[in-house]
Structure 1
């Protein structure tokens, strides 16, 4: 029996994410929460002939608590999507309070659930969730994840395009480390399961890295004010949720890049800190998933001088993002 909860289920990511979760046969109960429209979304999804029983909740009458009670996995796509001209700071100011309030609800009603944070900016919202849990006395670093899977999905797709064969996309694996915005996104293309063509120029490599880092901007621009990367993010979120569910059920050998608190595996986290040259509290790295969540944090392995420079550029930005999330909760009245 697996109960999955989507917080922000009526939004641009929330609806397609909920649809994909409804089609997952491992999920037996799907609980949807948002400030509007969730009963309608739930009614619509409930007609799909898959096992999950669906219910939708709104804020009145303890809706958040009812949605979360008994949850095994909670996915948070809630918040405002990025629009053209909107900075990460703008996004933070809007979404930080939303994520804080939802985290309070999870800490009270489902403190042992796996929590998957999609709400941007992930580099700051994951620390927000963690700090709320710490204040509530229920923090478990092994169970809180920033979903960076979209960066991995993009890397796989874009590398297969470079190789001229999109049929390879599902098989291409590229570790993407660091964080989940701009320069903090570091694709380790030298470790791609399908190497780039011989003679691939530095100029083309720089363009590919930039496209992976700023793929979200590409979508925001193409949607021309009508939204951000909602469908691809929903796909990535559902994919990562499925990996968490499989690992929780005992499947071995599942490794996926995800943004985690490095205390989740002290040995692996300390080794990673040595590699990146800074005592960061959070970092996205290839994580082996287990029944309790984070089983092992893997190090970066062999990287090129170019990738080392990308890490060097990512670290100060990450430190600032993390501090912003922590400071927000320190100054909040919980």
Structure 2
């Protein structure tokens, strides 16, 4: 049975994420790591009557290596949140890049076969950072590296249910969200919503809903008024994606979810997607089928509207720049 690990487990996302993983019966071991407070978080969670054995470590005495030993799934929410008035995490890019680089180095050395789920922002850049670290250590497998974009999907589903006037439908609403995981790189394919929008949702209304999905994090940052960013909703979304990965590891078939991956993880599907978007990008978020070995199939965009084509056209240049930023960070780093 699988061991799940949370790196950054004492933080605003890490603690609720660890709680949700502890309550999942598929997890039999839960490893927690952070620079402070991890043993206390582990002790607290260990009192919950579920199968998972919990251990928490700090940096001293090879704490990271101890946490990662035997890991099957590693989730990385570590980092600093953005502040009010700061869009796209510009104030924390460099800090988070360094944190993710160092954690990825530990994974590459101790648990190179684990599925790595990256939450730390900016995901558009941090996923390439992890990939480049793994390449330097000769342990890179694009099928096992995922950028968690599930919060965009969760928001889109919730906001569509709100438009429909029925929050009870929210768990059943499915809206594919493609592209990346910040601002204009987030492209909700509202035309493919499992629950169609009202016929009057065109023009300004459609634009407003799209913008709300793209910049939904701003609502939370503003409402928290300096006390943090989207932590609880992100923990929920991260856990939802981790649960799908755990189910796929167990051998369950047909697990499909939007996630930000290297398009070489499925060469045929990735090449087809590149043709659709009209750009030779290395990374893109799309509907991905997940299997026991990781990425099994990258799905095409499918039929999209002219409006959505415009959104993708706007997303591509920003996404390309974000990817290059992550790659360049490692090329200029000393590991």
Partner residue, 2:330: 329
Partner residue, 1:41: 41
- Residue-by-residue CA offset, 1:246-272 (whole Å, 9 max, x unaligned): 011111111100000000000000000
Alignment pair present for 1:246 and 2:247: yes
**Secondary structure of the structure 2 residue equivalent to 1:287:** strand
Partner residue, 2:63: 63
- Quote the Cα distance in structure 1 between the aligned partners of 2:186 and 2:260: 11
- Quote the Cα distance in structure 2 between the aligned partners of 1:91 and 1:206: 28
Partner residue, 1:171: 172
**Secondary structure of the structure 2 residue equivalent to 1:322:** helix
**Secondary structure of the structure 2 residue equivalent to 1:235:** helix
Give the Å deviation of 1:93: 1.1
Partner residue, 1:78: 78
TM alignment of 1:116-131, pairs within 5 A? 116-131=117-132
Task: Give the length in aligned residue pairs.
Answer: 334
Give the Å deviation of 1:84: 1.0
Partner residue, 2:16: 16
CA RMSD, 1 decimal: 0.6
Q: After the TM superposition, which parts of structure 1 deviate over 6 Å for at least 4 consecutive aligned residues? A: none
Partner residue, 2:198: 197
- Quote the Cα distance in structure 2 between the aligned partners of 1:172 and 1:181: 22
Give the Å deviation of 1:202: 1.4
Give the Å deviation of 1:200: 1.9
- Quote the Cα distance in structure 1 between the aligned partners of 2:86 and 2:158: 26
- Quote the Cα distance in structure 2 between the aligned partners of 1:310 and 1:27: 39
Instruction: Structure 1 unaligned segments of length 5 or more: list them.
Output: none
- Quote the Cα distance in structure 1 between the aligned partners of 2:186 and 2:205: 17
Give the Å deviation of 1:94: 1.4
- Residue-by-residue CA offset, 1:161-196 (whole Å, 9 max, x unaligned): 000000000000000000000000000000000000
- Quote the Cα distance in structure 2 between the aligned partners of 1:280 and 1:36: 38
Give the Å deviation of 1:89: 2.8
- Quote the Cα distance in structure 2 between the aligned partners of 1:157 and 1:40: 34
Give the Å deviation of 1:86: 2.9
Q: TM-score, normalised by structure 1?
A: 0.99
Partner residue, 2:52: 52
Instruction: Structure 2 unaligned segments of length 5 or more: list them.
Output: none
**Secondary structure of the structure 2 residue equivalent to 1:256:** strand
Partner residue, 1:258: 259
Alignment pair present for 1:136 and 2:103: no
Alignment pair present for 1:31 and 2:31: yes
- Residue-by-residue CA offset, 1:183-235 (whole Å, 9 max, x unaligned): 00000000000000122231111000000000001100000000000000000
- Quote the Cα distance in structure 2 between the aligned partners of 1:24 and 1:178: 30
- Quote the Cα distance in structure 1 between the aligned partners of 2:151 and 2:295: 19
Partner residue, 1:292: 293
- Quote the Cα distance in structure 2 between the aligned partners of 1:333 and 1:107: 15
Partner residue, 2:281: 280
- Quote the Cα distance in structure 2 between the aligned partners of 1:180 and 1:3: 27
- Quote the Cα distance in structure 2 between the aligned partners of 1:198 and 1:109: 53
Q: TM-score, normalised by structure 2?
A: 0.99
- Quote the Cα distance in structure 2 between the aligned partners of 1:157 and 1:84: 23
**Secondary structure of the structure 1 residue equivalent to 2:90:** helix
- Residue-by-residue CA offset, 1:25-55 (whole Å, 9 max, x unaligned): 0000000000000000000000000000000
**Secondary structure of the structure 1 residue equivalent to 2:112:** coil
Partner residue, 2:317: 316
Partner residue, 1:6: 6
Partner residue, 1:235: 236
Deviates more, 1:83-92 or 1:147-156: 83-92
Partner residue, 1:154: 155
- Quote the Cα distance in structure 1 between the aligned partners of 2:307 and 2:202: 13
Give the Å deviation of 1:85: 2.8
Partner residue, 1:92: 93
